[in-house]
Amino acid sequence: MSTASSGNTTSLSTQANLPLQNGLFLYAHPDAHHSHRVRLALAEKDIEYTLILVDPDDRPEDLAALNPYNTLPTLVERELRLFESRIILEYLDDRYRQTRLHPDSPSARALVKQYAWRIERDWLVAADILLTDPSSLDVKKAAAARKALTDSLISLSPLFGHQPYFLSDTFGLCDCLLAPVLWRLPQMGIQLTPNLAKPLLTYCQRLFDRPAFVRSLTAQERARNRD
């Protein structure tokens, strides 16, 4: 394991009884967008934390003790245990107020949360289907999800041409959700071309060029999309 704010990582698969002391600890999948979004938020906020990359097929005993669902990501800070990525993002934004992911205005904050809900419902559900392990992938269901997601991304591409980030001039929660999924489009078998989705592709490159995004990538994620 390693203390990191820059995305440097060390894998852990079977070590149990980790001596969790003061500080922030993140158990994370090395190549899954739900874990990636949390690492991205931590990098954007430049928060020091201990990153524990977990082999999903060989989870350490202490993870089950910390999280009754034994899922990733799991965030630990002193007595606090959080194991749902959106709740983790909410906590980080409230606890560490630098580089805010949510606006301060209640109405603007509610609107961002609603956009985030729609992103998860309309796009990330399809992404989860397509990112299922190939051994359990439903081919017909995946083909339908791929077509629906591709068509939706193309049709809504002009939306990304008005402001630098998702309906905003600054990086925020919705960008934190979208960036890890857009990085995985090749993995999902989705290829967007400039003539159909130039604003979206420009937005993608803007996200991927951010230093925090680069720091958030694990070795597995870098290797997967090296080209």
Residues 171, 99, 20, 11, CA torsion sign: positive
CATH class of 106-224: mainly alpha
Task: Tell me the mean pLDDT in the region 71-86.
Answer: 96
State the span(s) of the chain assigned CATH 1.20.1050.10: 106-224
**pLDDT over 90, % of the chain:** 85
State the span(s) of the chain assigned CATH 3.40.30.10: 2-95
> Does residue 1 or residue 212 have the better pLDDT?
212
Check whether 121 has a pLDDT greater than 90.
Answer: yes
Residues ≥6 apart with Cβ < 8 Å to 8:
2, 51
**Cα→Cα distances 203→31, 39, 52, 182, Å:** 22, 20, 30, 10
Q: How many CA atoms lie within 13 A of 11 on its CB side?
A: 13
Cβ burial of 156 (10 Å; 0-12, 13-18, 19+) is middle
> pLDDT digits over 36-78, tens only?
999 999 999 999 999 999 999 999 998 999 999 999 999 999 9
* CA separation for the pair 214, 69 (Å, rounded): 30
Across the chain, what does the average pLDDT equal?
91
Among 79, 78, 69, 74, smallest CA distance to 53 is for: 74
CATH architecture of 2-95: 3-Layer(aba) Sandwich (3.40)
CB atoms within 10 A of CB 22: 6
Among 48, 47, 53, 38, smallest CA distance to 1 is for: 53
The helix (H) or strand (E) run that includes residue 141 is helix 139-155
